[in-house]
Homo-oligomer: A and B are copies of this chain.
Amino acid sequence: MTTTDPAADAAADTAAPGLVPPDIVRCAYLDLVVTDLAASRKFYVDVLGLVVTEEDDQEIYLRPLEEFIHHNLVLRKGPVAAAAAFAFRVRTPSDVDRAEQWFAARGCRTERREHGFVKGIGDAVRVIDPLGFPYEFFFAVEHVERLAWRYDLYTPGALVRLDHFNQVTPDVPKGRAYLEELGFRVTEDIKDDQGITYAAWLRRKDTVHDTALTGGDGPRLHHIAFSTHEQHNIIAICDKLGALRMSDVIERGPGRHGVSNAFYLYVRDPDGHRVEIYTQDYYTGDPDNPVVTWDVHDNQRRDWWGNPVVPSWYTDASLVLDLDGNPQPVVQRTDASELAVTVGADGFSYTRRDDQEEGFKLGNSV
């Protein structure tokens, strides 16, 4: 890993010089289509312990314990499991106008709804962004009780915040440039000596990311992440899944990320949507926060302890929808895949940069 200081200021806005991008506060909620609402409710409410703000037989609105806006996750019954929208909160009502204009100027399809697209949210605009993802921007939102002090409601694996989204896209440098123009800042990335970028992490709030770009066939949703207060909370989720004989929903982890330095776990919901449980990354709010770059062959980049990344984590992801609710076509990644270059015949990973093959832990483990 190496660190570099970021560009002094935002990338120039090439597409629409005149326009000011919206002031994005944070990732705010995911609008997620599930095929069996009862099964999903059991997973997100009974097992993971998210709190129901309101629900009916078509939709369930969920939040973790420290949230004060109406929801961070909408489960919506539908025919095809997919992500309907990645919603971001903006700083003022007029930032919704700025978002609409900024994307329109790029020739992106936009749809504005004064009363919002879901319950609890007011004036909002949805767009299909240059990468094919459905993004939403809103300011107006209903406030609900912040349950931070309600320890009588906490479970051993209590989820307290929405932390980030993670998106799969074929061309990471293109996506990164667009999101930097939109006002995101890169905190970390994974590259190789040939100049290929495999992934990038971008933030608005003071954490490592509000969203990340993972190189692969896309546009697809890689995962949504909720955070806990401590590491033992994540262990408690694993223990509970074992007690419920649901351990096979654990896809990867728990472990320590190299990227972000956070403690993590990945689970899969009844539709295969991936959820990360995440805790303890670092403060990134300074304008010159150093960018951390990882070598794709560094076996500690994705798991600091060198434990193998399961192939499904690289290959599986969820479809995303267009503004009419139809799945977006998936475009293949043409650059080298992280899986291929790190595992198996064509790839290699090292624990110590200068080691020989012996240093290659995966070989010992599989």
Contact = CB atoms under 8 A, between A and B. Distances in A.
Interface of A: 1, 3, 5, 25-26, 66, 68-69, 89, 91-92, 143, 146, 148-156, 158, 160-161, 205-206, 229-232, 235-236, 238-248, 250-251, 254, 256, 258, 261, 263, 280, 282-283, 285-290, 299-300, 304-307, 310, 312, 351-352, 359, 361, 364-366
Given A25-B287, A250-B305, A251-B364, 20 more contacts: A1-B149, A89-B286, A92-B287, A148-B282, A149-B242, A152-B240, A153-B243, A161-B283, A231-B232, A239-B305, A242-B304, A247-B304, A247-B361, A248-B299, A250-B306, A250-B307, A251-B365, A310-B365, A312-B364, A312-B365
A290 B12 CA distance: 35
B364 A286 contact: no
Contact of A232 (B25, B232, B239): B232
Nearest to A316: B364
A278 B263 CA distance: 20
Contact of A66 (B205, B240, B282, B300): B282
Contacts of A248: 299, 306, 351, 359, 361, 364
Contact of A240 (B154, B286, B359): B154
A306 to B, nearest CB: 4
Nearest to A145: B3
A217 to B, nearest CB: 19
A305 B242 contact: yes
Nearest to A23: B287
Contacts of A310: 364-366
Contacts of A246: 351
Contacts of A283: 66, 161, 205
B158 A26 contact: no
Contacts of A365: 251, 310, 312
Given A92-B287, A359-B248, A261 B300 contact: no
**Shortest beta-carbon contacts, A-B, top 8:** A247-B306, A151-B239, A242-B304, A151-B243, A248-B361, A152-B243, A248-B351, A151-B240
